[in-house]
Structures are given as structure tokens and as C-alpha cells.
Amino acid sequence: VKLSKYAVTETNEIGQGVTIGEFAVVRAGARLGNDVVIHPHVVIESGVEIGPGTEVFPGAYLGKAPRGAGALARSPSFERRLVIGANCSIGPHAVIFFDVEIGDNTLLGDGASVREQGRIGSRCILSRYVTLNYDVRVGDGTKIMDNTHITGKTRIGNGVFISVNVSTVNDNALGRHGFQDEAIRGPLIEDGAMVGANAVLLPGVVVGRGAVVGSGAVVSRDVEPGTVVVGMPARCVRRVEAA
């Protein structure tokens, strides 16, 4: 174990070969597996578990407690536990809330942010400044590219590709009637689907297995499996060609 100068390490659950950089903070009760690398200025709160071989880049903040301020409509509920798998890469300034689970070999880019009740599989990429709202599930081998926002209660399958600057929305009333949990319906994106850059998925839409949503499309109705939709509002233009 290599503890750098000025590192604050309150836990004693640290595996072999771990490196902790200068000015990092690792709170009591946090657990670091073998060969974990913690860069400078990282903060890891109590209740966080990091699997072997995972690298956490400068300024990342692991274990944020949701806090509403006066302004937040939804009262956050969460468990003080965050589990990150083996051989992950957590980018600089990434923020991961409590009550999140992340599989093995998954990469979070700079400033990626995952809120409570997030469940992310293995071999995923959440690229730079991707933001996931509360209660999002992502399968294995899925890629979500830079600056895309995934709204609360979205379900995303395996091998999905979501391009940059994509928006997903879960509330037709745009929050105007206050927060009514039963009215919130996130999109469902099935295995192998692809969503183009700057597309918008409206509340509750299903993007079927292997379907393709064109760049800039605004999807207001379900997309059949294996079809291609484009435009605003999005309409089906053809079936996906066999690869």
C-alpha cells in the first residue's frame, strides 16, 4: 500500500497494492480492493466499496447523499451503500451517489454523474458529462456518449448505443403539477437499440430491440423492433438492414 503525503485515510479495509494519492479523503468504513488506484483530490465516503483494479481519477466524489435544499420536489430516499466492480475507470470529477451499483470493467468519463437507485452493468461506457437521474437501470455492454441525459426511471438493455447530447424525458406535464411519482414514466430502450445524436425520447416510449432512432429525431410513440425512425415527430422510414 502506498499512501501519499497528506492523504487522509480513515479506513483500514484496504487491499494489497493500493495507491492513494495526495489530498485524497477515504472515510472510515470505505473498502478498497487489491490494486485500486486513487488519484489526488478524490473523496470516498463511508459505505463505498471499490473492486480490485479499479482506478479513480482526480476530483471524483464517491458517495454523495441526495439533498434536496428547499427547492427539490422529490424527497430522496437512499441507502448509504455504493458498490463499484473490478477494473473500472472512474473519470476525473465524476460524481456517484449512494445506493448505486456498477459492474466490472465499466468506464465513467469526466464528470459523469449517477444518482441514487442507479444500477449499471459490466463493460459499459458512460462518457463525459453523462448524467443519470435517480432509479435508472443499464444492462451490460451499453454505451452512453458525452453530454447525454438519462431521466429517472429509464430502463436500458444490453448492447445499447446512445449517442451524444441525447435527451430523455419522463414527465409530460413538465413538472407543472408538482411531483406525482405514479405519473413518471421513463423510456424503455431494448437490447441492441441505437439512438442518434441530439435525439429526444419522450415519456414512456419504448425503443424496440435493435431499432435505430435517427439523429435529431423526437420520439413520441413506440418504435417497433428492428425499424428505423427519423424526424420530428419521428416516423418509421424502413427496417434495419441486415449487417
The answer to whether residue 139 forms part of the interface with its own copies (CB under 8 A) is no
What SS3 class is residue 124? coil
105: left (phi over 0), alpha (psi -120 to 50) or beta: left
- Binders of its own copies among residues 30 to 59 (CB under 8 A) are 39-41, 43, 55, 57-59
Compute the least distance from the CB of residue 1 to its own copies, in Å. 19
| Interface region with its own copies, contact rule CB under 8 A, candidates 11-19, 75-83, 88-96, 182-190 | 88-96
The answer to whether residue 170 forms part of the interface with its own copies (CB under 8 A) is no
The answer to whether residue 67 forms part of the interface with its own copies (CB under 8 A) is yes
Give the chain's end-to-end CA distance (angstroms, integer). Answer: 49
Among the listed residues 33, 118, 141, 187, the single contact to its own copies using CB under 8 A: 141
* Number of neighbours of residue 79 by Cβ within 10 angstroms: 11
Alpha-carbon span 227 to 210, nearest angstrom:
8
Nearer to its own copies by Cβ, of 14 and 201: the residue is 201
Compute the least distance from the CB of residue 224 to its own copies, in Å. 18
- Binders of its own copies among residues 208 to 237 (CB under 8 A) are 212, 214-216, 218, 230-232
Tell which residue, 142, 100, 151, has the closest CA to residue 122.
142
What SS3 class is residue 147? coil
